[in-house]
Structure 1
Amino acid sequence: MAQDHSLLGLRLLFSFPLLHLHLLKMAEEAPAAPAAASDFSADQIEDFKEAFGLFDRVGDSQVGYGQVADIMRALGQNPTNKDVAKILGNPSADDLANKRLAFDAFLPMLQQVDVIPKGTLDDYVEGLRVFDKEGNGTVMGAELRIVLGTLGEKMTEPEIDALMSGQEDENGSVHYEAFVKHILSV
């Protein structure tokens, strides 16, 4: 069970930097009076519909049940497979492979995922602790750069440089708890 928690933390960590920047951008563009947490703007819904259409491999304006989690993640959410299965009504393997879903049925599911609490400081720290070989609260900056550029939501070199700016000590190590606090405060 602890390993599942670590994996969730890693998944959240690798998706977090770009998601966090995306959410900040959305917050800047949001109207002064915030909408309810489960309400999406017309522009967001159009973006979601366009992304949904990219996953339609048949041309019937529907996607397979097995693609729902991928679409949600492509739209900046980070649901667990268990969350998605619950939202889909715990489908069988056959349903995942064969059932299809229209956008009108998908949008309320996306709204459900949007209100699921996101990762906490502890989740992200736990995810980085996996890379702490010496158990001293640090990870090698070079290793962290590789991870950020190759796993999860792959970041570009300029994005990694901006994120890592001022985070490495004289030995090239990053104190990961302080690093996560820095990211969450941006």
Structure 2
Amino acid sequence: MTWPCLTSQGDFKEAFGLFDRIGDSQVAYNQVADIMRALGQNPTNKDVQKILGNPSAEEMANKRLNFDAFLPMLKQVDAIPKGTYDDYVEGLRVFDKEGNGTVMGAELRIVLSTLGEKMNEQEIDALMAGQEDENGSVHYEAFVKHIMSV
């Protein structure tokens, strides 16, 4: 696993430690997804739940783990196949009714809020900022490039 700024297990451990709010060298289960994202991964909440063993809401809030338990979980997330640029473009092409390389921004917002890992309105607004043209259309190839660069 290599990420732009983090190159060693020591770097990962240091980043992990930033999430230790109690000082016991452990973090709560409900912080694991955030830590993974801070370390350059982008797991779905469903992936994290599965890796943690599908804990209850109470366990998510109260159970804690140390870095030695976390590191294999991070490796599992890194091994999950990632979608490619072509995968995302092909998925959005389904909504290109006119075959002109665009989808309606309103339709894309609905998709983002209802399918897969649902996004809330603020997340969608942030993602869509500056992506719609004067007709409310989104050039989906540029949109996918934008998303993959974020």
Query: Shared topology, TM-score over 0.5?
Result: yes
Question: How many pairs align?
Answer: 126
Counterpart for residue 94 of structure 1: 58
TM-score (norm 1): 0.51
Q: Once the 2 structures are TM-superposed, how far is the Cα of residue 177 of structure 1 from its aligned partner?
A: 2.3
RMSD: 4.1
Deviation at 1:126, TM superposition (A): 4.1
What's the TM-score once normalised by structure 2's chain length?
A: 0.62
1:182–1:61 Cα change, 3 Å:
closer
Within-5 A mapping of 1:62-141: 62-120=26-84, 121-123=86-88, 126=91, 136-138=100-102
Task: Give the residue type in structure 1 aligned to 2:26.
Answer: Q
Question: How far apart are 1:128 and its partner, in Å?
Answer: 9.4
Moved over 3 A (4+): 124-130, 178-184
Say if 2:29 and 2:64, in contact at 8 Å, map to a contact too.
Answer: yes
2:60 and 2:12 mapped to 1: Cα distance?
21
Q: Write out per-residue CA displacement over residues 104-152 of structure 1, whole angstroms, 9 at most, x where no aligned residue.
A: 000000000000001122235646988x8x8842379xxxxxxxxx959
Are the counterparts in 2 of residues 125 and 180 from structure 1 also a CA contact under 8 Å? Answer: no
Which ranges of structure 2 fall in alignment gaps of 5 or more residues?
A: 105-121, 127-134
* Ranges in structure 1 where 5+ consecutive residues have no aligned partner: 1-21, 27-40, 141-149, 155-170
Q: Bigger relative contact order, structure 1 or 2, given CA contacts below 8 A and separation 6+?
A: 1
Q: Structure 1 68/181 Cα, relative in aligned 2: closer, same or farther at 3 Å?
A: closer
Identical-residue share of aligned pairs (%): 72
For 1:89 and 1:48, locate their aligned partners in 2 and report how far apart those are by CA, in whole Å: 22
